[in-house]
Structures are given as structure tokens and as C-alpha cells.
Amino acid sequence: MPSAQPTTRSDELMRTARTVIPGGVNSPVRAFRSVGGTPRFMASGTGPWLTDVDGNRYVDLICSWGPMILGHAHPDVEQAVREAAAKGFSFGTPSENEVLLAAEIVDRVAPLEQVRLVSSGTEATMSALRLARGATGRSKVVKFAGCYHGHVDALLAAAGSGLATFALPDSAGVPVSSAHETIVLPYNDVSAVEAAFAEHGDEIACVITEAAAGNMGVVPPEPGFTAALRRITREHGALLISDEVMTGFRCSAAGWYGLEGEPEGGAPDLFTFGKVMGGGFPAAAFGGSAELMSRLAPDGPVYQAGTLSGNPVATAAGLATLRGCTAAVYDRLTQVSDALIAGATEALNVAGVPHVIGRAGSMFNVFFREERVRDYDDARDQDTAAFGRFFHSMLQQGVHLPPSAFESWFVSASHDDEAVDAVLAALPTAAAAAAAA
Ligand SMILES: *Cc1c(COP(=O)(O)O)cnc(C)c1O
């Protein structure tokens, strides 16, 4: 499709970026590899809108991959950041905001008694894994194919052939020895979990799962799946880690846990958080019972630390964001998601494009296939070329979707009727583009 939009500055920046940054980007999905074309470099954002360096304006459906739940440059968050920054950027001593943010998180998610603050979701899951291994004295980890938990060695593992066999590295640079400590199973498959534990139950430190999967597109756990994980881990003395880095404080005030309710048999042992709780700054956390968390240094033998952990500016942003997440915010997220799902479904139906919606609370995406998606094999069995055409048509019309068929679309409470209508108006043309092979 011929571009009506100027892209000269973005193209120039990308050329320079490629010379000084690998692939031109600091996180691979930003490079547009799966949809083709050159990424747009953003200059500013306000509410639901992004403006790129060539002056093109977009409705943002990435929202920084989740953190911008209140919209860009929300006045309350901006003020909190300014006030914090004016008092100094980092002390390397305890400071008040980290206590307030930890308390805010613990208040929201009932099973949590304590959280340790870190700077990224990757750090949160890496540290939770170490704690689980330290607490159980075991080394093996179960994860599910298609679930992403950050770029932790042991979690960048792909399924080996056959159930309950050890995994293979999914990235160069991950030692086979590290991947071999990981067992990768199909998501939503209780019998695979049973089989893995029947064979290796006394070696498994923990099961880590996305509370609701959002990194293979959106695939919620089937009813009873989380409860089954709880039951099986408990039977074998392993811990259950619920990764709520994406779902936390987005699916509800208490994340997916709040939406799904406590699984029969009890809550997960450890939770990980990131994204929303940093309000767009680097802040993340992991937490659980006081007893379990007491195994961390300085009280316990499991070492974990961070120069910028609990950073006063980042925690101010996170605190202002969480405090801004009122019931009205969650209502609006639901309304916006409902409206966009209805619009996308209608447009794709009219254009005759096979599709199915994946949804977990206000996280959702379109899979370009007919049948329901239950796991990663299903998610991969879709028409990604159709998504690419759809994506570029939306982009041309001023709507910036995540540049991959395997990502959630993210909305914010600042997506007002103008922004929603702009997306709805773009959908029929994009659906037609998806249909035209
Ligand atoms: C984004 C994400 C992570 C990694 O967080 P980073 O801050 O990117 O390191 C971990 N787990 C889940 C479920 C995520 O969505």
C-alpha cells in the first residue's frame, strides 16, 4: 500500500540506529521483522495518542506493552515524577516511595505479604526462580510453551520432543545445561503436567506460568487449569509461580488473580509483577508469604540485590499509576476492549477473514484462524501474513497495533470515544486488506 504518511525522519533514524544499536532496536519486536517495513520513531505521547518524528499521529494500541494503563503523560503521574525527580534521582539507601509502593501492591493482591522491588519483569521472574530453587533445594523448573517470562536463561527454552523431556535452548548463548533444568509443556494441558511430575516430581522446584498467557497472543487458562497446577505442585512439594508481569493491575485491581479468583486449593506461592506497576518507568516486583520471602538476603540465604531497585522516581510513577487505577479506570478498559473487539469482529466477518478473538479481561488480540486457541501450537497455526496486511493498513490509517500477530493489543483508560471511533473507522479497510491475499 502506498504510504500517505511521511516517514523520512523515522527512516533516517532507523538507518543510524542500525549502525550503533544491533538491529536498530533495544528490544527485538520493535524492529517490525514479523510485519515488514520500518518502525516509526515516536516523539511524544499524550493520552491514547502517539506522535512520531515525522508528525504522524496514531491511536496507540501498544501502550508500551501494558504499562500506560492511564494513557501517556497522565497529569497525576507526570506531577509525581516531577516532584520525585526534583528531590534527587537515586540514593542507594531506603526511601519512602518504595515502602508505599510495596504496601500498595500487597494491599491489592490478597495472598501477598511481602514484595521485593526490582527493575524489570525479567529480574522479577529470575529472582522468583532463584527463590523457589533456594526454598525447595531443587533445580528443575516447569514452564509452558508460548509463555514468556523475560529473557532469563532457564526460561528461554523450547520444548524438546515428547512430553516431560528436558528442553533445548531457545536462544544462542543459553547453555544446554541451563535449558536442561527446564521442562517445557503445552499450556492448558493438565495431563502433561501430571506426567512431568510423575516422572520428575521430586526434582522440580517450581511451575512458572503466565497468570493468563499474553505473549503468544492472549490465551487465558482454561477453567480449572490454575487450580490443577496448585494441586499438583502442592502434592509434590513444588512451588507455583504466577507471572502477572503483564496481567497484574491490568486485568483487575488485583490482576488476573483478582479476576479469576483464588484457585481451589489455594493461591500461588509467588507472584511476579512489572509493566503497570512501574507506570512506564523501570519497576517490577516479586512477592509471596513473609515466610517464603524471608529466605531472601539479608534475612535468608538466597541472594538478590539491585543498585536501582526501588528507585525513587520509578516508584513514584508506579505509585501514582496504581493509585490512579480506580474502578472507573477498569470499567473504561472493559468498555474500550468490548468496543474494539465488536468492531474488529464485525469488520473481519464482513470481509470474510477467518479469525478468533483471544481475551483475558481487557487484554485481547485477533488470531487469524477459525478455531479457538488453547496453546502455542494453536496460536502459531494462524495466517500471520494476513495479520501483516491488517497491521500495515491500520498503521496507514493512524492506528498503531503491536507489530506481531502474537501480542496482545493494549488499551488505556484514556482511550476516549474519539480514539475508539478512529480505530473503528480504520477496521473495515484493514479487514479488506487482510482478506486480499
Ligand atoms: C513483559 C513480560 C516479562 C518481562 O518483563 P521485562 O520488564 O520486559 O523484563 C515477563 N513476564 C511476562 C508475562 C511479561 O509479559
Q: State the catalytic residue, choosing from 148, 257, 330, 376.
A: 148
* Ligand 1 mean position, distance from CA 107 (Å): 22
What was the pLDDT predicted at 161?
Answer: 62
Place of cell 479488506: 432
What ranges in 201-254 are assigned the alpha helix state H? 225-235
Whether residue 301 is preceded by a cis peptide bond, meaning omega within 30 degrees of 0, is no
Which among 155, 245, 256, 376 is the best mutation to test ligand 1's pocket, defined by most ligand atoms within 8 Å of the CB?
245
> Does residue 279 have its Cβ closer than 6 Å to ligand 1?
no
The reported pLDDT for the residue numbered 158 is: 82
Distance 98 CA to ligand 1 centre (A): 20
Cβ(149) to ligand 1 under 6 A? yes
**CA dist., res. 70 & res. 170, Å (int):** 35
Distance of CA 351 from the midpoint of ligand 1 (Å): 35
**Residue 249 pLDDT:** 98
Q: Taking each helix axis from N to C terminus, what angle separates 417-435 and 327-351, rounded to the nearest 10 degrees?
A: 30
Tell me yes or no: is domain 8-61+326-435 CATH 3.90.1150.10: yes
> Buried b vs exposed e over 62-93: b needs ≥16 C-beta within 10 Å?
bbbbbbbbbbbbbeebeebbeebeeeeeeeee
The whole-number pLDDT of residue 157 equals 87
- Given the CA of residue 282, which atom of ligand 1 is nearest to it? 7
Which numbered atom of ligand 1 lies nearest the CA of 147?
Answer: 13
pLDDT tens across the length of the chain (437 residues): 446 899 999 999 999 999 999 999 999 999 999 999 999 999 999 999 999 999 999 999 999 999 999 999 999 999 999 999 999 999 999 999 999 999 999 999 999 999 999 999 999 999 999 999 999 999 999 999 999 999 999 999 887 665 556 788 889 999 988 889 999 999 999 999 999 999 999 999 999 999 999 999 999 999 999 999 999 999 999 999 999 999 999 999 999 999 999 999 999 999 999 999 999 999 999 999 999 999 999 999 999 999 999 999 999 999 999 999 999 999 999 999 999 999 999 999 999 999 999 999 999 999 999 999 999 999 999 999 999 999 999 999 999 999 999 999 999 999 999 999 999 999 999 999 999 87
Q: What is the pLDDT of residues 122-173, one digit of tens each?
A: 999 999 999 999 999 999 999 999 999 999 999 998 876 655 567 888 899 9
Q: Does the annotation mark 330 as catalytic?
A: no
Beta strand extents in 188-304 (DSSP E only) = 204-210, 239-243, 270-273, 284-288
148 is catalytic: yes
Instruction: For ligand 1, say whether the CB of 215 is within 6 Å of any of its atoms.
Output: yes
Options 3.40.50.2300, 3.40.640.10, 3.20.20.70, 3.40.50.720; which CATH number does 75-324 get?
A: 3.40.640.10
Which residue, by CA, sits nearest to atom 15 of ligand 1?
A: 246
pLDDT in the model for residue 1 = 47
> What distance in angstroms lies between residue 184's CA and the mean position of ligand 1's atoms?
18
Query: What is the identity of the amino acid at 47?
Result: G
Mutate to test the pocket of ligand 1, among 62, 63, 125, 143 (most ligand atoms within 8 A of CB): 125
pLDDT at 159: 75
All structural domains of the chain with their residue ranges? 8-61+326-435, 75-324
- The answer, yes or no, to whether any atom of ligand 1 lies below 6 A from the CB of 243, is yes
Residue with CA at minimum distance from ligand 1 atom 6:
121
Query: Out of 243, 269, 378, 383, which one is annotated catalytic?
Result: 243
The secondary element (H helix, E strand) that includes residue 365 is strand 363-367
Q: What pLDDT score was predicted for residue 166?
A: 75
pLDDT at 163: 54
Distance from Cα 397 to the centre of ligand 1, integer Å = 29
**E strands present in 55-185:** 57-60, 114-118, 140-144, 157-158, 168-169, 182-185
Q: Which of 205, 199, 162 is nearest to 181 (CA)?
A: 205
Q: Which residue's alpha carbon is at the smallest distance from atom 10 of ligand 1?
A: 149
Question: What pLDDT, on the 0 to 100 scale, is given for residue 42?
Answer: 98
